[in-house]
């Protein structure tokens, strides 16, 4: 007898352009991912819902647990796997997988770890579902979304973050408690970072057409004044912390919020949601992903609505954007420069092609900067002059040292002299996500290693490139 357990049922669901029933893939079977999959099933947003996670037993168990209750829902089918192939031809891919914050780990280090995960999983997902709408959920979502856009090279409508959809819902909920009105009749948004620098747009918030600034009495008999608004804004930001302190994670509300985004896409609702798309001159803000009211439909992120803002709101949103850019910048070029699209940097691509260096190419036309040795490689300095970098960061000094030895040998074989190699190594270390003390230790390792003649490979002069380096020898992948 087969061990296969049926996980399908019939129903009526949105279809894609070809008429095929729609499919949603959720990456990550943790608390948020599993709850999101459950919300999609109970709401019947798609015919097929799949979960993908690297932990096979966990993801299969979560999917089976949900699937066995589909007779009580309008759901279609549910499946789970550790193989990204299960996401093939998905219409929407929601990515909840991310690094867990460790004790003493900074938010920047958490961002770098999560971006490292994105570098590994996104190319394969783009390969199996190149036309999918990608919704980033993992935190810090605005930074992760910006990096995901760079990693995939997909059009800006196809990649966006969940933004402040949940924060906006929290704000409306708290307003409803203060005013005694239904949440559905409250219209107002939180924009900016999904985090401490987010900005409630009070100037455009209203209840049933009445501006919130003119609402009058609250349920407690006081005025809906600046003090009440500041308390609500504070409580919105603190909500996640309070929930995490009490139960360890937030999952229900965020699952429902992201399900709402997915439903808006698959049903082509043209709904205004505060997702986090890439901005281009939105109230003067560009080159950053952060939450703004955006029309969401079958094509993904559409028009970004430019609501009228007060001077204070505009100033605070600009500051929020600046903060996000600083975080992205601090991740360093070895993070965001991991892939280079031909259309974005033709000079670099020309240099690589002319050199004969063998490269990995993903379906999104990203050219990996992991360089393979071949007999006709041009000196590494040529690639460096076009922005190429060798990734040297690692999780521990021993691994770092092994990478340094590996890459030093290849760089010397390619014709780099000591000064060029030292500068390349130091630049990569400074751009890494390690702690200051670890960076100092690594820099000292570089200086000590380079000063030890007997540890250098016998490659001859810079003009000679006859060292015995295997053609398949590759630089280790950044963040591995």
Backbone angles phi, psi at 150, to 5 degrees: -70, -40
Residue 64 makes CB contacts below 8 A (sequence gap 6+) with 5, 7, 80
For 287, half-sphere exposure in the C-beta direction (CA atoms, 13 angstrom radius) is 5
Q: Which helix (H) or strand (E) holds 81?
A: strand 77-81
Q: Which two tokens stand for residue 358?
A: 């063998």
- Do 426 and 446 contact (CB within 8 A), yes or no? yes
DSSP 417: -
What's 24's DSSP letter? E
194 is catalytic: yes
Q: Nearest-CA neighbor of 133 among 261, 7, 43, 230? A: 261
Q: Which of 194, 323, 338, 373 is catalytic?
A: 194
Partners of 77 in beta bridges = 8, 48
> Hey, which bits of 322-425 come out as E strands?
339-341, 366-368
Backbone dihedral angles phi then psi of residue 290, each to the nearest 5 degrees: -155, 165
Of the CA atoms within 13 Å of residue 424, those in its CB half-sphere come to 26
CA separation for the pair 231, 214 (Å, rounded):
18
Q: Which residues contact 464 (CB under 8 A, 6 or more apart)?
A: none
d(CA 278, CA 276) in angstroms, rounded, equals 7
Tokens for 388? 């190429």
Which residues are known to be catalytic?
Answer: 194
């Amino acid at each position: 007898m087969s061990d296969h357990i049926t996980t399908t049922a019939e129903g009526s669901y949105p279809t894609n352009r070809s008429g095929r029933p729609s499919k949603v893939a959720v990456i990550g079977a943790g608390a948020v991912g599993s709850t999101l999959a459950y919300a999609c099933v109970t709401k019947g947003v798609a015919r097929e819902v799949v979960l993908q996670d690297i932990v096979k037993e966990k993801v299969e168990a979560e999917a089976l647990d949900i699937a066995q209750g589909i007779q009580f829902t309008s759901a279609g089918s549910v499946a789970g796997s550790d193989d990204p192939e299960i996401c093939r031809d998905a219409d929407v891919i929601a990515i909840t997988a991310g690094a867990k914050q460790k004790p003493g780990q900074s938010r920047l280090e958490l961002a770098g770890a999560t971006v490292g995960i994105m570098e590994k999983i996104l190319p394969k997902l783009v390969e199996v579902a190149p036309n999918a709408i990608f919704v980033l959920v993992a935190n810090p979502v605005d930074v992760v979304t910006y990096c995901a856009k760079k990693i995939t090279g997909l059009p800006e409508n196809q990649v966006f973050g969940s933004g402040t959809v949940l924060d906006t819902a929290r704000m409306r909920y708290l307003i409803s408690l203060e005013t005694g009105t239904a949440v559905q009749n409250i219209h107002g948004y939180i924009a900016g970072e999904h985090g401490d620098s987010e900005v409630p747009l009070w100037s455009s918030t209203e209840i049933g057409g009445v501006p919130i600034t003119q609402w009058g009495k609250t349920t407690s008999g006081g005025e809906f004044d600046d003090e009440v608004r500041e308390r609500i804004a504070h409580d919105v930001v603190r909500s996640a912390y309070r929930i995490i302190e009490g139960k360890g994670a937030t999952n229900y509300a965020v699952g429902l919020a992201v399900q709402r985004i997915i439903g808006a896409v698959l049903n082509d609702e043209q709904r205004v949601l505060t997702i986090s798309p890439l901005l281009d001159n939105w109230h003067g803000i560009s080159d950053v992903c952060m939450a703004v009211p955006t029309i969401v439909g079958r094509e993904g992120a559409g028009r970004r609505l430019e609501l009228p803002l007060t001077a204070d709101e505009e100033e605070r949103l600009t500051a929020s954007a600046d903060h996000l850019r600083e975080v992205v910048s601090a991740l360093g070029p070895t993070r965001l420069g991991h892939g280079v699209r031909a259309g974005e940097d033709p000079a670099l691509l020309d240099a690589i092609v002319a050199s004969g260096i063998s490269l990995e190419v993903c379906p999104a036309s990203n050219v990996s900067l992991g360089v393979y040795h071949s007999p006709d490689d041009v000196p590494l300095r040529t690639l460096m002059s076009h922005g190429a970098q060798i990734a040297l960061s690692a999780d521990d000094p021993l691994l770092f040292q092994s990478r340094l030895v590996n890459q030093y040998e290849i760089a010397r074989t390619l014709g780099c002299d000591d000064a060029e190699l030292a500068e390349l190594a130091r630049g990569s270390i400074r751009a890494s996500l390690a702690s200051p003390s670890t960076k100092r230790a690594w820099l000292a390792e570089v200086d000590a290693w380079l000063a030890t003649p007997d540890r250098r490979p016998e490659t001859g002069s810079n003009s000679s490139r006859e060292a015995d380096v295997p053609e398949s020898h590759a630089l280790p992948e950044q963040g591995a």
